[in-house]
Amino acid sequence: MKKAVFITAVFCLMLLIPTFMTSCSKGDDKEDEIASVKNEEIDIIEEIRPNETIQNEVEGDSDEDFAKGTPAKGKEIFAMNCTPCHGQDGTGGGPTAAALVPKPRNLTDESYVSTLSNEHLFKVISGGGLAVGKSAAMPAWSTSLSDEDIRDVVSYIRVDLCNCEFDGGN
């Protein structure tokens, strides 16, 4: 009698396994569904708060994270790559600047740089002026500088050149 129960149990298990496996493969559809619901949520949130911080939240980076670098290293990187246009002191008077329209920005101008978020600074240095709808004369550095280098430069701009924080876009 016990044997019969055991056999029935094994038989039931054998029936259950394929059912379980098909429900697993259906999981993909569910993931798609969850992803599309998530996207809708993001769309809705973006509609409510149409600013760039939403992207950070999705990627898990806060605006401060883009400036978590070493200013002293950023200074060296700036001296090697940026001074021809932005000048030794960052005010925008480098030797190449004369020929450029628009002029390279004065990165020591607190009233201007405080309107730019750390993420924006990161983006414009990494992807160049075009990445933020500005002049292509500001080159993209993502091929020659690592993300860490760029964060170092962003911190250098914040701490030394402008000595100012992002005012939150107000």
Residues at the contact surface with ligand HEC, assessed by CB under 6 A: 78, 81-82, 84-86, 96, 100, 102, 104-105, 107, 116, 121, 124-125, 129, 132, 134-135, 137-139, 141, 153
Nearer to ligand HEC, 56 or 141 (CB): 141
Sign, Cα dihedral of 89, 90, 93, 95: positive
What's the closest the beta carbon of residue 169 comes to ligand HEC, in angstroms? Answer: 13
The nearest distance, CB 153 to ligand HEC, in angstroms, is 5
Give min distance, CB of 18 to ligand HEC, in A: 59
Q: Could you give the CA distance from residue 24 to residue 13 in angstroms, rounded to a whole number?
A: 16
| H-assigned helices in the chain | 2-25, 27-48, 53-59, 71-81, 83-86, 110-113, 118-127, 147-156
Q: Which is nearer to ligand HEC, 42 or 109 (CB)?
A: 109
Buried b (16+ CB within 10 A) or exposed e, 68-104: ebebebbbebbeebbbebbbeebbbbbeebeeeeebb
Nearer to ligand HEC by Cβ, of 56 and 66: the residue is 66
Nearer to ligand HEC, 56 or 82 (CB): 82
- In degrees, rounded to 5, the angle at the alpha carbon of residue 52 between the alpha carbons of residues 47 and 56 is 110
CB of 42 vs ligand HEC, minimal distance in Å: 25
Q: Least distance to ligand HEC from the beta carbon of 98, Å? A: 11
Instruction: Tell me 25's DSSP state.
Output: H
| 82 or 164: CB nearest ligand HEC | 82
